[in-house]
Structure 1
Amino acid sequence: MSTDGAASLKVLVVCLGNICRSPMGEAVLKDVASKRGIDIEVDSCGTAGYHVGEEPDERTVATCHKHNVPISSLARQVKTSDFTYFTHILASDESNLRDLQRIKPLNATAEVRLWGSYLDEKPIPDPYYGGIGGFEKVFQQCTTLSNTFLDQVTKST
């Protein structure tokens, strides 16, 4: 996309605590984009600060490793500057989307949407309180959503 070395597509994937869905979404989106040759910058965060500074849930890491997707992130909470730095902010579910809309500053330039709005309007369910099967389902959903998102945002370039 960009030829000056800086990604013109900057995406922030958001869930509640930034240890399950959003770090997995970040890793999967980076991996899918890399395999497709798309220049992109991806980060993730949570709307809440419950796990700031922590690594992703071990089940998130295990699921990514099972699929040979590199994952490396530390949990952080969304900040107002994210709304002008990133081009797209992808919420994992409606609750996080509402929280993002509530804190979105007036000068926001990022497109803030439910990630599922690029496909089927379905939220990404929080797998935290379930078993490893829930993490596998989230991985598959993130893979599908990554491809659909990239198809839509890169078709004009």
Structure 2
Amino acid sequence: MKRRDFVVSGLALGPGLILAAPVKVQTLTEARIWLDQLEKAPGAKTTGTWPLVSVLEHLSQSIEMSLDGFPQPKSAAFQHTLGAAAFAVFQWRGKMSHGLDEPIPGAPALTAQGDWKPAANRLRAAIARFEANTGPLKPHFAYGALSKAEFAQAHVFHIANHQDEIVSG
């Protein structure tokens, strides 16, 4: 592993007590490494509304839909104005922030409970499929047409944003 894979940020809780948080993923390769680490971590869960299985399925859906199409895209006018502006702000900030319990419009329902490890495997497969793709990508439901590099960045931002609610015991 690279040195930065071991770097953690700390929040002091009192004398000698530090709550460590993992470094946010910055590439799709790091996302796969993070999934490997998550599977080895005891008691992985979310602190938000969705259980971990739902979050991982949601992340998979986003990547899969960049290849297969989003079921309910916003209007072209929205994509070219507000959507494009939102993505530009995320790029400028170097991170995304969005409602972490908002499903992709028209996406299939997420699994509400159960083992999250199959969902982690689905996310790995979605990342691998995206990386191997050499064909055209489908427009993002909100941001519109993105290049492969821009979509990769959007996917990384999305995963990193959801990391805010994923913890291990």
Would the TM-score normalized by the shorter structure come out above 0.5?
no
- The TM-score with structure 2 as length reference comes to 0.26
- The TM-score with structure 1 as length reference comes to 0.28
More helix by percentage: 2
